[in-house]
């Protein structure tokens, strides 16, 4: 029996293995540097990757916007509306606290209220996106538990958001690989399994180590951001190392993994965006937005070199918008399992001539969903048009 050789499959396996090796190197290198020099590593990663990773995330989101929202209209409306309300209220809280208008007695209830608004928004997004009774009940139960946690310990809840945020980026990368690079998934899953192992290793190795020496205001900012004020009995060396390690993984997801997985050089051109194919005005608007955001990245780099401490505080307050935006982005990319809707799309396709333009248009109107959450059509029909 002769065995056949498939060069394309072999190439995909090789690419997946190479991706896994690079991801493993990033994991081990980040954990080592975070353990050895946590503050210096944190300063370097934020300076190099903080602003650029927001620009890349913005460009990725714009490249994924559909030309028509279709049945996802309520989801997009809920996403953008909640995003605006939560972000503006967060900026108001931070500004009021910095200017001295909000003290600790008033601040904690306001933080707890903001957390509850965030939880309610997430539950509403899940209800609008998945429209499944079981999913809605699970989301509601989880939301009630989260609200209880936030009311009892609002500062702890806020700290959990800081440490959980990088994992949302990892989940987005998993969905993107499932959509574009399925041959890389196995390597990526093995690397994901290594993340908790490295976190445990950091905890064991750094547990009981001396507190970091606080010499400047910047050192205090970094340790406070990692939770030293909320967890005073835990070594600040451990807290900063864990936070910086997860932060570097988040930057690696957006600055390296997602652009490579999506072939960003070719697919992230503005004229290839679905939202700009039928609208010259949209193309110009997106071009202006990306141009302004590029100037903002350069401005942040210049500001970091002039006054790193102030710029770091300003950045992490302003960057809350991308923390919030990743929540609906992840839900949008999740698969919607709705057999009734899928069967309706199939029947609608069959009502037209097979492979005709009318069948494709009907499938689009029916809202055929793939695992990315975007409206698509069966590939066999698309190929015949």
- pLDDT per residue as tens digits for the range 299-344: 999 999 999 999 999 999 999 999 999 999 999 988 766 545 444 4
353-365 average pLDDT score: 40
pLDDT for position 7: 66
Confidence label for 348 from pLDDT (cuts 50, 70 and 90): very low
| Candidate from 191-195, 201-205, 264-268 with smallest mean pLDDT | 264-268
pLDDT reading at 6 higher than 90: no
pLDDT reading at 265 higher than 90: no
Confidence label for 58 from pLDDT (cuts 50, 70 and 90): very high
Tokens 């300063």 belong to: 43
Residue 212: partners with Cβ closer than 8 Å, 6 or more residues away: 38, 39, 219, 223, 236, 237, 240
219-227 average pLDDT score: 93
pLDDT digits (tens, 9 = 90+) for 67-80: 777 888 899 999 99
Tokens 């509403």 belong to: 124
pLDDT reading at 143 higher than 80: yes
pLDDT for position 253: 95
Counting residues of the chain whose pLDDT is more than 90, the rounded percentage is 59
pLDDT for position 116: 95
- Listed in sequence order, the DSSP H helices in the chain are 7-36, 38-64, 73-99, 104-130, 133-152, 154-180, 185-206, 217-225, 236-252, 258-261, 264-267, 280-306, 308-318, 320-333, 339-350, 357-366, 379-383
pLDDT for position 8: 64
Computed over every residue of the chain, the mean pLDDT equals 83
Distances (CA, A) of 53 to 94, 247, 250, 253, 307: 23, 11, 9, 9, 20
Distances (CA, A) of 121 to 65, 111, 239: 21, 15, 29
pLDDT for position 114: 95
pLDDT for position 378: 36
pTM: 0.83
The larger pLDDT score, comparing residue 270 to residue 190, is at 190
Instruction: Answer for the pair 74, 249: CB distance below 8 angstroms, yes or no.
Output: no
Cα 244 off chain centre by: 17
pLDDT reading at 87 higher than 70: yes
Domain regions of the chain by residue span: 7-334, 336-385
pLDDT reading at 367 higher than 50: no
- Listed in sequence order, the DSSP H helices in 207-354 are 217-225, 236-252, 258-261, 264-267, 280-306, 308-318, 320-333, 339-350
**DSSP H or E segment with residue 66:** none
The larger pLDDT score, comparing residue 69 to residue 33, is at 33
pLDDT for position 67: 77
Give the bridge partners for 375, in sequence order.
369
The larger pLDDT score, comparing residue 360 to residue 287, is at 287
pLDDT for position 72: 84
pLDDT for position 352: 37
pLDDT reading at 206 higher than 90: yes
pLDDT reading at 159 higher than 70: yes
Instruction: Answer for the pair 151, 109: CB distance below 8 angstroms, yes or no.
Output: no
pLDDT reading at 384 higher than 50: no
Counting residues of the chain whose pLDDT is more than 70, the rounded percentage is 84
195-213 average pLDDT score: 92
Confidence label for 65 from pLDDT (cuts 50, 70 and 90): confident
């Amino acid at each position: 029996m002769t065995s056949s050789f498939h060069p394309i499959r072999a190439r995909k396996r090789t690419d997946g293995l190479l991706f896994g090796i690079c991801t493993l190197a990033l994991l081990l290198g980040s954990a080592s540097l975070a353990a050895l020099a946590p503050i210096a590593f944190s300063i370097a990663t934020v300076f190099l990757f903080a602003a650029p990773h927001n620009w890349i995330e913005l460009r990725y989101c714009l490249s994924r916007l559909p030309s028509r929202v279709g049945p996802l209209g309520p989801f997009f409306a809920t996403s953008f509306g909640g995003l605006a309300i939560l972000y503006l209220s967060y900026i108001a809280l931070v500004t009021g606290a910095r200017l001295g208008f909000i003290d600790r007695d008033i601040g904690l209830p306001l933080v707890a209220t903001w957390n509850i608004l965030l939880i309610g928004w997430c539950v509403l997004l899940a209800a609008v996106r998945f429209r499944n009774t079981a999913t809605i009940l699970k989301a509601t139960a989880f939301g009630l538990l989260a609200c209880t946690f936030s009311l009892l310990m609002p500062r702890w809840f806020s700290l959990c958001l800081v440490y959980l945020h990088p994992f949302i980026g990892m989940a987005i990368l998993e969905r993107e690989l499932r959509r574009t690079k399925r041959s890389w998934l196995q390597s990526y899953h093995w690397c994901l399994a290594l993340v908790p192992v490295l976190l445990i290793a950091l905890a064991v190795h750094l547990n009981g180590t001396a507190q970091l020496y606080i010499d400047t205001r910047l050192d205090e900012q970094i340790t406070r951001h990692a939770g030293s004020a909320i967890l005073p009995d835990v070594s600040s060396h451990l807290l900063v190392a864990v936070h910086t390690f997860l932060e570097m993984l988040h930057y690696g997801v957006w600055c390296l993994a997602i652009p490579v997985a999506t072939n960003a050089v070719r697919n992230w051109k503005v004229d290839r965006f679905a939202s700009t194919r039928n609208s010259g005005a949209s193309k110009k608007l997106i071009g202006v937005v990306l141009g302004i955001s590029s100037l903002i990245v350069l401005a942040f780099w210049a500001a970091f070199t002039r006054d790193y401490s102030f710029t770091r505080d300003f950045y992490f307050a302003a960057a809350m918008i991308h923390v919030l935006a990743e929540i609906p982005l992840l839900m949008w990319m999740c698969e919607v399992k709705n057999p009734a809707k899928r069967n309706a799309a199939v029947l609608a396709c069959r009502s037209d001539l097979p492979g005709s333009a009318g069948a494709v248009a009907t499938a689009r109107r029916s809202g055929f969903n793939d695992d990315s959450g975007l409206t698509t059509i069966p590939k066999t029909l698309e190929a015949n048009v």
